[in-house]
């Protein structure tokens, strides 16, 4: 959260800008120094404004707001996740590029990767083909479908809900879909 910072000095102290008649007045100087203390965080933000719009440098709470502002898919990123902050910053930084590939298999896969930190298994009915002759067979299946599965170490019902919301937002608009969240297989070492 933004706020006052003890000991932060103003980059533009008001007392030095007052007319000479007030320069020697102790009460006026103390009064404007109080204003300097209130204005110092605002001036500090303005001095560093470009850093606030750089996801790797912005404060975490501002980065989350910035993600909402640019339409980044950050709903699946948990605050209690040790990699959560890094994944949040990566998702916000990738937002513009993801908007360009939204609705594609690559865009969906990257959105799931950024939200969950795992590679999804995506199966779909579509296809693309080229033929030198007209009336060639249509590629893919006649009925559209999309299935996205992820394997997590400790899946919860909330993960299914998060994945469903993410796929609903990042899939091709006309495509019916299903999602599945399963536990990763544990291998025992003897």
pLDDT above 70 coverage of the chain, percent: 93
Give 128 or 114, the one with higher predicted confidence. 114
For the stretch 58-86, pLDDT in tens is: 988 889 899 889 888 777 676 777 788 88
Instruction: Give the pLDDT confidence score for residue 116 in this predicted structure.
Output: 87
Domain housing 42: 27-100
The CB-based long-range contact list for 87-96 (8 Å cut-off, 24+ gap) reads: 87/114, 87/115, 87/117, 88/60, 88/63, 88/64, 89/55, 89/56, 89/63, 90/55, 90/114, 91/67, 91/115, 92/55, 92/63, 92/66, 92/67, 93/55, 93/56, 95/67, 95/70, 95/71, 96/70
Averaged pLDDT of the chain: 85
Q: Give yes or no for residue 41 having a pLDDT over 90.
A: no
In a domain, 17, yes or no: no
Task: List the single range of 35-49, 59-73, 123-137 with lowest mean pLDDT.
Answer: 123-137
Note whether 163 and 175 are same-domain residues.
yes
- Is residue 8 domain-resident? no
Residues 121 and 159 grouped into a single domain = yes
Position 3 scores a pLDDT of 59
With respect to residue 173, please indicate whether it lies within any of the assigned structural domains.
Answer: yes
Of all residues in the chain, the percent with pLDDT exceeding 90 is: 26
Q: What is the pLDDT of residues 100-127, one digit of tens each?
A: 998 889 999 998 988 888 999 999 988 7
Query: For position 154, which CATH number holds?
Result: 3.30.300
Number of domains composing the chain = 2
């Amino acid at each position: 959260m933004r706020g006052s910072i003890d000991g932060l000095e103003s980059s533009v102290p008001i007392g030095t800008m007052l007319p000479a008649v007030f320069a020697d007045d102790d009460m006026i100087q103390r009064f404007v120094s109080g204003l300097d203390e209130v204005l110092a965080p605002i001036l500090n933000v303005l001095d560093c404004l470009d850093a606030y719009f750089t996801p790797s440098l912005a404060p975490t709470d501002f980065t989350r707001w910035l993600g909402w502002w640019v339409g980044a898919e950050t709903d699946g990123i948990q605050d209690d996740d040790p990699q959560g902050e890094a994944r949040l910053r990566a998702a916000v930084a990738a937002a513009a590029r993801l908007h360009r590939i939204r609705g594609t298999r690559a865009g969906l896969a990257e959105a799931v990767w950024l939200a969950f930190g795992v590679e999804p298994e995506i199966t779909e009915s579509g296809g693309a083909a080229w033929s030198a002759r007209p009336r060639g067979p249509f590629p893919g299946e006649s009925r559209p479908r999309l299935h996205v599965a992820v394997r997590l170490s400790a899946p919860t019902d909330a993960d299914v809900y998060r994945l469903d919301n993410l796929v609903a937002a990042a899939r091709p608009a006309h495509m019916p879909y299903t999602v599945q969240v399963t536990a990763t297989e544990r291998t025992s070492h003897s």
